[in-house]
Structure 1
Amino acid sequence: MVLAGCGTAADSEEPVADAAQDESLLAEHGLQGLDAREIVDHLDSLAAVDRPVDLMASVRAEELVLTDATADVALDMPEDVFYLAVAPYVAQTHECYFHSLTTCQGELVEQDVQVRVTDESTGQVLVDEVRTTFENGFVGLWVPRGAAGTVEVSYDGKSGVVEYTTGADSATCVTTLQLT
Structure 2
Amino acid sequence: MTTATAGERERTRRRRPLVIALVVLLLLWLGTVATWAVVDAGRDGVIVVGGGTDQESVTAPSGALSISGSLTVPLQPGMGERLDLVILNETDAALAVSGLSVRIADVVAPNATAELGCSVADFAIEQSTFGFELAGASSSSLTGAGAVAADLPLLSMLDTDVDQAGCVGATLALEYAAVGTPA
TM-score range (shorter-chain normalised) is under 0.3
Of Structure 1 and Structure 2, which has the larger fraction of its residues in helix? 2
Structure with larger Rg: 2
Q: Which has the higher contact order (CA 8 A, sep 6+)?
A: 2
Question: TM-score, normalised on structure 2?
Answer: 0.25
